[in-house]
Each structure stands twice: as structure tokens, then as C-alpha cells.
Copies of this chain bind each other. A is one copy, B any other.
Amino acid sequence: MPVNLRIPKPEELLQVGGVKLGTARANIRKPDRRDLLVVELEEGARVSGVFTKNRFCAAPVLLCREHLKSGGIRALVINTGCANAGTGEEGLIRARKTCSELARLLDCKEEQILPFSTGVILEQLPADRIIAGLPECLSNLGQGGWFEAAEAIMTTDIQPKAISKEIEIEGKKVRVTGIAKGSGMIHPNMATMLGFVAFDAKVSQKQLDDLVVEAANASFNRITVDGDTSTNDSFILISSGDSPEISGASFEKLKQAVIEVSVFLAQAIVRDGEGATKFISIGVEGGKDDEECAKVAYSIAHSPLVKTAFFASDPNLGRILAAIGYAGIEDLDVDNIQVYLDDVLVAEKGGRAASYREEDGARVMKQDEILVRVVLNRGEKRTTVWTCDFSYDYVRINADYRS
């Protein structure tokens, strides 16, 4: 079960002016489940996105990049069940067909539609079923559809992931609402994850383009479940509303809210990580630069031995030390490092801390939220990444996924 991941109540998800959502049961892969989502944007809404760096990126990612260049996006269409990745030229044709059909229904141009797909790779998109489901999506379009939208984009996710924040900017209420999906193939830059965050305040395209990168770097690019980077990762930021463009302190306030929503969603993906029983934060501080902090953090976060020890609640700290040691920092002086499990100093001077008692480590390891803190003592930089443990269920889920 997901680790301390609360399912939002539908009414907690705040409507964002200018953004309507509609879902359908289109039988894309499994019968009788929401598997198709259309997000309609009012004219003048601005959209920006960041996408997977995987060279085998999916057909919809290619189209998104292309369509975002021309701007004027009017709708997003998202299906689960099939990722339309590794599908070659035919995959592009089918994704375009979906876009053009939705454009026809909404009376706009194909280039004004952004397509997203998630699910099994290397199978052709059942575009006919998607197209057949579009009218149902449009028939229930509404600003209140965020909860159903969060459900419609799930794959191996156990729980829908969604959150809202309301802030006041220049005397006016602004709502930031986001949804995300993903629980396996999760890795920075990025994950089999789709994330969509919208707010009803107007910012310039440049501000939006910068913000989507900043928010992704603070959230979705700092999580890992299994180290696999998907072909389909997409994080989309939507600015709607007819207020004047905000800037200065108001923009900073908005930025903070967007980052908070993004971090919640990113952590939600880890909390619902395939087979996760624990939520692990790995903080590395005192590094010379961001890169070496990240190297150490990901080395720990990716180690199957560390992750299985967390699963077993076993304070097998040697595995953490080993992972620090092979992180690839050539001149690392291991005698100078401290490692903590929450507040318990577990290692220093190249070995187990003199004050460490196994029962203290065991107490922390039993928790379902654990902070591993590594102090490198060689600089001023720090970073945090979030991950989960590695359980039987991870293997079961991924061994059974297609069956």
C-alpha cells in the first residue's frame, strides 16, 4: 500500500478557471475503467512543458514538443494503457490522428492539441478506441473533473495523486491544482510519470517556461523508484485566466505554490512507488557542488541492496556506506563523513560511530518515513532526493505487468 499517501476528497481539488476536464471509459486496455482524459483550455491559456530525455522518446512526446512551438494550445488528450513508445512512424501517425480528431470536435487546429500516452511500450496505439471515447470525454467536460482526471491517468498506480493550493495574489484568490501518475520506471529526467499543474493566473510565456523547469528540478527530477527513465515522461504547466500578467513578489508567491504542488505530486509518486512500504528521503550536505551531492544521493537511492535492507527494516548501514563509496567521487575522504539515520549518528571516521547502538538504528528503520543524512564535510552544497524501498511486490508487479 502507498506510504502515507492520502487520497484527496474530490471536493478538495479546487477548480481552476479556464480549465475543464472530461474523462471516458474507452476500453483502451482494460474494460470498465476510466482510461481517457481530455483537458480543454480557454483561449489565451499558456502552456509549457518538460519531457523525457530518453532517446527512445514516445510519439506523443515528439508531437508535444512540435505543437508547443506553435503555441495556442487548446486541449490535452491523455490515455493510459498504451504508451505509444517504440512504435516508429506508425506511432506518430496514430498520435496525429487522435489530435486531429479532437481538433475537429473542438473546432481548432491539430497543432493546438497536446497528446500524452502512458502504459505498455512497443505496442501500437489503439487510436480507434481513443477516438471513439472522445465524445464521452467532451460530454462531461467541467471544471470539477480533477479527481476523475487523476484516476483516468493511472497505470500501476494504486491511488490517484492530486492536490490543490489556494493563495491570494493582489487581493485575488488564485488556485493551483495538479495531478500526476507514475509509480514504476521512475527516475530523474524523468519518470514514467505524467504531471499536469494548472493555475488561474496569467504569467508570461517566458516566466512559464522558466517555472516549469524550476518546478521539475525541485520535484519530479529528484525522485527515483527504480532508476529507469521512461520514454513518455511529461510535466506540463498551464497558466489560464484573464488577469493581467503578474510579476515580482506576486510571481514569487505563485512560484512557491507551484513548486509545493509539484513536490507533493513527485513525492506522491514515490509514496505509491511499485511495492513501496517506506518513504525514504536522502539528504546529502557539505558537498563541493550540486553534482557530487546528487551522485551520492542517487548512488544510495538506486542501490538494490540498500533498498532491500530498508524493506527488511534492517539497519545494515554498511550497504549505505558502500553506496557512498562507489558514487564515483574520486577524492572522497571516507574518514571525514558522517551518516545519520534521522537523528541517530550511525557512521563516522570510516566506520560505525562509537555512540551508535543497534537498537537506535533498528528503531528508525522500523518507521515508514526515514531520513538518511550524509554529511560530506567538504563544501557548502546540499541536495535531497526521495525514494522508496524495494520489496517482493516490486518484483511481482513488474513481473506480472503485462499479464
With A and B bound together, what is the CA distance between A2 and B318 in angstroms?
26
- At the interface, yes or no: A352 with Cβ under 8 Å from chain B? yes
Contact flags A285-322 to B (C-beta < 8 A → 1, else 0): 00000000000000000111100110110101111011
Within A353-403, which residues are at the interface with B (CB < 8 Å)?
390-392, 394-396, 398-403
For the complex formed, measure the closest distance between the CB of A390 and the CB atoms of chain B, giving whole angstroms: 6
Contacting pair A303 B122 (CB below 8 A): no
With A and B bound together, what is the CA distance between A121 and B402 in angstroms?
38
With A and B bound together, what is the CA distance between A41 and B332 in angstroms?
36
For A183, list chain B residues within 8 Å (CB).
Answer: none
For A56, list chain B residues within 8 Å (CB).
Answer: 321-322, 324-325, 334, 350
| Residue in contact with A308 in the complex, picked from B309, B334, B335, B395, CB distance below 8 Å | B395
- At the interface, yes or no: A128 with Cβ under 8 Å from chain B? no
Chain B: CB-nearest residue to A339: B86
**Most interface-central of A57, A228, A399 (chain B CB within 10 A):** A399
For A229, list chain B residues within 8 Å (CB).
Answer: 322, 325-326
| Residue in contact with A334 in the complex, picked from B55, B317, B392, CB distance below 8 Å | B55
With A and B bound together, what is the CA distance between A303 and B228 in angstroms?
6
Chain B: CB-nearest residue to A189: B326
- At the interface, yes or no: A185 with Cβ under 8 Å from chain B? yes
Chain B: CB-nearest residue to A310: B399
Contacting pair B312 A399 (CB below 8 A): yes
Chain B: CB-nearest residue to A184: B305
Chain B: CB-nearest residue to A85: B318
- At the interface, yes or no: A78 with Cβ under 8 Å from chain B? no
Contacting pair A88 B351 (CB below 8 A): yes
Chain B: CB-nearest residue to A304: B226
For the complex formed, measure the closest distance between the CB of A265 and the CB atoms of chain B, giving whole angstroms: 22
With A and B bound together, what is the CA distance between A54 and B320 in angstroms?
12
The verdict on A227 contacting B351 (CB below 8 Å), with A55-B329, A326-B54 known, is no
Chain B: CB-nearest residue to A308: B398
The verdict on A91 contacting B351 (CB below 8 Å), with A304-B228, A304-B304, A314-B402 known, is yes
Chain B: CB-nearest residue to A326: B229
For the complex formed, measure the closest distance between the CB of A351 and the CB atoms of chain B, giving whole angstroms: 3
With A and B bound together, what is the CA distance between A226 and B302 in angstroms?
10
| Residue in contact with A120 in the complex, picked from B302, B318, B394, CB distance below 8 Å | B318
For A394, list chain B residues within 8 Å (CB).
Answer: 304, 308, 395
- At the interface, yes or no: A252 with Cβ under 8 Å from chain B? no
For the complex formed, measure the closest distance between the CB of A298 and the CB atoms of chain B, giving whole angstroms: 11
Within A188-241, which residues are at the interface with B (CB < 8 Å)?
226-231
With A and B bound together, what is the CA distance between A56 and B332 in angstroms?
9
Q: A86-B322, A227-B302 known; 17 other A-B pairs, CB under 8 Å?
A: A54-B326, A55-B332, A56-B325, A83-B318, A85-B318, A85-B322, A86-B317, A88-B350, A89-B349, A120-B316, A121-B317, A226-B304, A228-B322, A304-B390, A308-B398, A309-B398, A392-B392
| Subset of 6 A-B contacts with CB under 8 Å | A56-B321, A86-B317, A89-B351, A123-B352, A226-B305, A228-B305
The 6 closest A-B pairs by CB, nearest first: A121-B318, A88-B351, A56-B325, A312-B399, A122-B318, A308-B398
